[in-house]
Protein backbone atom coordinates (compact mmCIF):
# COMPACT_ATOMS: atom_id res chain seq x y z
CA UNK A 1 0.00 0.00 0.00
CA UNK A 2 2.84 2.38 0.91
CA UNK A 3 4.64 1.60 -2.37
CA UNK A 4 1.41 2.17 -4.31
CA UNK A 5 0.86 5.64 -2.87
CA UNK A 6 4.53 6.63 -3.07
CA UNK A 7 4.60 5.57 -6.73
CA UNK A 8 1.34 7.45 -7.35
CA UNK A 9 2.88 10.61 -5.89
CA UNK A 10 6.12 10.20 -7.86
CA UNK A 11 4.38 9.43 -11.15
CA UNK A 12 2.04 12.41 -10.73
CA UNK A 13 5.03 14.66 -10.01
CA UNK A 14 6.94 13.27 -13.01
CA UNK A 15 3.98 13.77 -15.36
CA UNK A 16 3.32 17.32 -14.11
CA UNK A 17 7.02 18.22 -14.27
CA UNK A 18 7.41 16.64 -17.70
CA UNK A 19 4.41 18.49 -19.14
CA UNK A 20 5.54 21.78 -17.62
CA UNK A 21 9.19 21.62 -18.67
CA UNK A 22 8.35 20.58 -22.23
CA UNK A 23 5.96 23.54 -22.49
CA UNK A 24 8.85 25.92 -21.82
CA UNK A 25 10.55 27.41 -24.87
CA UNK A 26 13.78 25.74 -25.92
CA UNK A 27 16.14 28.73 -25.68
CA UNK A 28 19.55 27.12 -25.60
CA UNK A 29 21.05 26.91 -22.14
CA UNK A 30 18.10 28.08 -20.08
CA UNK A 31 19.25 27.23 -16.55
CA UNK A 32 15.68 26.91 -15.19
CA UNK A 33 14.67 24.36 -17.83
CA UNK A 34 17.95 22.46 -17.41
CA UNK A 35 17.41 22.33 -13.63
CA UNK A 36 13.88 20.97 -14.16
CA UNK A 37 15.20 18.31 -16.56
CA UNK A 38 17.80 17.27 -13.96
CA UNK A 39 15.11 17.04 -11.26
CA UNK A 40 12.91 15.04 -13.64
CA UNK A 41 15.76 12.59 -14.29
CA UNK A 42 16.56 12.21 -10.58
CA UNK A 43 12.94 11.53 -9.67
CA UNK A 44 12.65 9.19 -12.67
CA UNK A 45 15.63 7.12 -11.55
CA UNK A 46 14.21 6.98 -8.02
CA UNK A 47 10.91 5.78 -9.50
CA UNK A 48 12.80 3.09 -11.44
CA UNK A 49 14.39 1.88 -8.19
CA UNK A 50 10.98 1.81 -6.49
CA UNK A 51 9.23 -0.03 -9.32
CA UNK A 52 12.02 -2.62 -9.24
CA UNK A 53 11.42 -3.01 -5.49
CA UNK A 54 7.68 -3.23 -6.14
CA UNK A 55 8.17 -5.94 -8.76
CA UNK A 56 10.31 -7.95 -6.33
CA UNK A 57 7.59 -7.57 -3.70
CA UNK A 58 4.91 -8.55 -6.24
CA UNK A 59 6.79 -11.72 -7.22
CA UNK A 60 6.91 -12.82 -3.58
CA UNK A 61 3.27 -12.01 -2.85
CA UNK A 62 0.04 -13.16 -4.44
CA UNK A 63 -2.26 -10.52 -5.91
CA UNK A 64 -5.19 -9.68 -3.63
CA UNK A 65 -8.56 -10.80 -4.91
CA UNK A 66 -10.69 -8.14 -6.57
CA UNK A 67 -14.13 -7.31 -5.21
CA UNK A 68 -16.48 -10.24 -5.92
CA UNK A 69 -19.24 -8.10 -7.45
CA UNK A 70 -17.03 -6.94 -10.34
CA UNK A 71 -17.91 -8.67 -13.64
CA UNK A 72 -15.18 -10.87 -15.11
CA UNK A 73 -14.58 -8.56 -18.08
CA UNK A 74 -13.86 -5.67 -15.68
CA UNK A 75 -11.45 -7.87 -13.73
CA UNK A 76 -9.59 -8.60 -16.97
CA UNK A 77 -9.43 -4.89 -17.79
CA UNK A 78 -8.24 -4.05 -14.27
CA UNK A 79 -5.40 -6.59 -14.50
CA UNK A 80 -4.53 -5.36 -18.00
CA UNK A 81 -4.29 -1.74 -16.80
CA UNK A 82 -2.05 -2.85 -13.93
CA UNK A 83 0.23 -4.69 -16.36
CA UNK A 84 0.34 -1.56 -18.52
CA UNK A 85 1.32 0.46 -15.45
CA UNK A 86 4.23 -1.88 -14.72
CA UNK A 87 5.37 -1.79 -18.35
CA UNK A 88 5.19 2.02 -18.43
CA UNK A 89 6.85 2.43 -15.02
CA UNK A 90 9.81 0.46 -16.40
CA UNK A 91 9.81 1.80 -19.97
CA UNK A 92 9.62 5.51 -19.13
CA UNK A 93 12.76 5.76 -16.98
CA UNK A 94 14.65 3.42 -19.30
CA UNK A 95 13.76 5.52 -22.37
CA UNK A 96 14.75 8.63 -20.42
CA UNK A 97 18.07 6.99 -19.62
CA UNK A 98 18.48 6.02 -23.29
CA UNK A 99 17.64 9.58 -24.30
CA UNK A 100 20.31 11.00 -21.99
CA UNK A 101 22.84 8.44 -23.20
CA UNK A 102 22.16 9.30 -26.85
CA UNK A 103 22.56 13.00 -25.99
CA UNK A 104 25.88 12.31 -24.26
CA UNK A 105 24.53 13.55 -20.91
CA UNK A 106 25.33 11.35 -17.89
CA UNK A 107 22.51 10.15 -15.63
CA UNK A 108 23.17 10.52 -11.92
CA UNK A 109 21.22 8.55 -9.33
CA UNK A 110 20.40 10.93 -6.49
CA UNK A 111 23.96 12.29 -6.76
CA UNK A 112 25.35 9.03 -5.39
CA UNK A 113 26.68 7.50 -8.61
CA UNK A 114 26.46 7.88 -12.37
CA UNK A 115 24.81 5.26 -14.55
CA UNK A 116 26.68 3.93 -17.58
CA UNK A 117 25.53 5.03 -21.02
CA UNK A 118 23.20 2.52 -22.66
CA UNK A 119 23.97 3.77 -26.19
CA UNK A 120 26.68 5.93 -27.66
CA UNK A 121 26.14 9.56 -28.65
CA UNK A 122 23.72 9.81 -31.59
CA UNK A 123 21.64 12.94 -32.22
CA UNK A 124 19.12 11.15 -34.47
CA UNK A 125 18.60 8.43 -31.85
CA UNK A 126 18.26 11.12 -29.17
CA UNK A 127 15.32 12.68 -31.05
CA UNK A 128 13.75 9.27 -31.59
CA UNK A 129 13.89 8.56 -27.84
CA UNK A 130 12.37 11.98 -27.13
CA UNK A 131 9.32 10.98 -29.19
CA UNK A 132 9.12 7.49 -27.64
CA UNK A 133 9.42 8.93 -24.12
CA UNK A 134 6.74 11.54 -24.86
CA UNK A 135 4.22 9.01 -26.23
CA UNK A 136 4.87 6.64 -23.32
CA UNK A 137 4.20 9.59 -21.02
CA UNK A 138 0.86 10.20 -22.74
CA UNK A 139 0.04 6.49 -22.37
CA UNK A 140 0.82 6.77 -18.65
CA UNK A 141 -1.58 9.70 -18.36
CA UNK A 142 -4.31 7.60 -20.04
CA UNK A 143 -3.66 4.68 -17.63
CA UNK A 144 -3.62 6.98 -14.60
CA UNK A 145 -6.89 8.60 -15.69
CA UNK A 146 -8.55 5.21 -16.25
CA UNK A 147 -7.24 3.90 -12.91
CA UNK A 148 -8.34 6.94 -10.92
CA UNK A 149 -11.68 7.09 -12.75
CA UNK A 150 -12.37 3.41 -12.03
CA UNK A 151 -11.46 3.82 -8.34
CA UNK A 152 -13.78 6.82 -7.99
CA UNK A 153 -16.57 5.01 -9.87
CA UNK A 154 -16.29 2.05 -7.49
CA UNK A 155 -16.30 4.33 -4.46
CA UNK A 156 -19.03 6.83 -5.36
CA UNK A 157 -21.33 4.96 -7.77
CA UNK A 158 -20.93 1.24 -7.05
CA UNK A 159 -20.20 1.88 -3.35
CA UNK A 160 -17.99 -1.19 -2.97
CA UNK A 161 -14.75 -1.53 -0.99
CA UNK A 162 -12.31 -1.27 -3.91
CA UNK A 163 -10.91 2.16 -2.98
CA UNK A 164 -11.23 1.64 0.78
CA UNK A 165 -8.99 -1.44 0.51
CA UNK A 166 -6.17 0.78 -0.77
CA UNK A 167 -6.51 3.42 1.94
CA UNK A 168 -4.87 3.02 5.35
CA UNK A 169 -7.23 2.02 8.09
CA UNK A 170 -9.48 -0.81 9.28
CA UNK A 171 -11.20 -1.34 5.89
CA UNK A 172 -7.89 -2.23 4.23
CA UNK A 173 -6.90 -4.52 7.11
CA UNK A 174 -10.26 -6.32 7.06
CA UNK A 175 -10.11 -6.73 3.28
CA UNK A 176 -6.60 -8.15 3.52
CA UNK A 177 -7.69 -10.70 6.12
CA UNK A 178 -10.60 -11.79 3.92
CA UNK A 179 -8.34 -12.27 0.90
CA UNK A 180 -6.96 -15.78 0.41
CA UNK A 181 -3.93 -14.20 -1.23
CA UNK A 182 -2.66 -13.01 2.14
CA UNK A 183 -3.24 -16.25 4.03
CA UNK A 184 -0.40 -18.75 3.80
CA UNK A 185 -1.78 -21.34 6.21
CA UNK A 186 -4.93 -21.90 8.30
CA UNK A 187 -5.07 -19.64 11.33
CA UNK A 188 -4.85 -20.95 14.86
CA UNK A 189 -8.48 -19.96 15.40
CA UNK A 190 -9.71 -22.50 12.89
CA UNK A 191 -9.84 -23.36 9.22
CA UNK A 192 -9.87 -20.56 6.68
CA UNK A 193 -13.10 -19.88 4.85
Q: Is 147's pLDDT higher than 70?
A: yes
Q: Is 106 left (phi over 0), alpha (psi -120 to 50) or beta?
A: beta
Long-range Cβ contact pairs of 40-43 (< 8 A, separation 24 or more): 40/14, 40/96, 41/96, 41/100, 41/107, 41/108, 42/108, 42/109, 42/110, 42/111, 43/10, 43/13, 43/14, 43/17
Strand, coil or helix: 28: coil
| Measured CA angle at 132 (ends 123, 96), to 5 deg | 70
Query: Does residue 193 sit within a domain?
Result: no
Contact 15, 40 (CB under 8 A): no
Query: Does residue 192 sit within a domain?
Result: no
pTM, full prediction? 0.78
Domain residues for the domain of 138 are: 2-59+73-178
Query: Does residue 185 sit within a domain?
Result: no
Q: What is the pLDDT of residues 20-76, one digit of tens each?
A: 998 988 767 778 888 899 899 999 999 999 999 988 888 888 777 777 777 888 888
Pairing of the two strands 107-109 and 113-115:
antiparallel
Q: Which residues contact 120 (CB under 8 A, 6 or more apart)?
A: 101, 102
Q: What is the pLDDT of residues 66-114, one digit of tens each?
A: 777 778 888 888 889 889 999 999 999 999 999 999 999 988 887 888 9
Query: Does residue 65 sit within a domain?
Result: no
Query: Does residue 89 sit within a domain?
Result: yes
Question: What CATH number does residue 17 fall under?
Answer: 1.20.950.20
The Cα–Cα gap between 189 and 40 comes to 50
Query: Does residue 187 sit within a domain?
Result: no
- Count of domains observed in the chain: 1
Buried b (16+ CB within 10 A) or exposed e, 37-65: beebbebbbbbbebbeebeeeeeeeeeee
Amino acid sequence: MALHWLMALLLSALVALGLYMTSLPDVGFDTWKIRLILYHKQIGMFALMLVTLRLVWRIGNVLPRLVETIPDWQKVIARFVHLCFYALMLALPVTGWLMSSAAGIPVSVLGLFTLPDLVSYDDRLFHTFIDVHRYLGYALIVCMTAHIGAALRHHFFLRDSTLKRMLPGPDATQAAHRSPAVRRAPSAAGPSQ
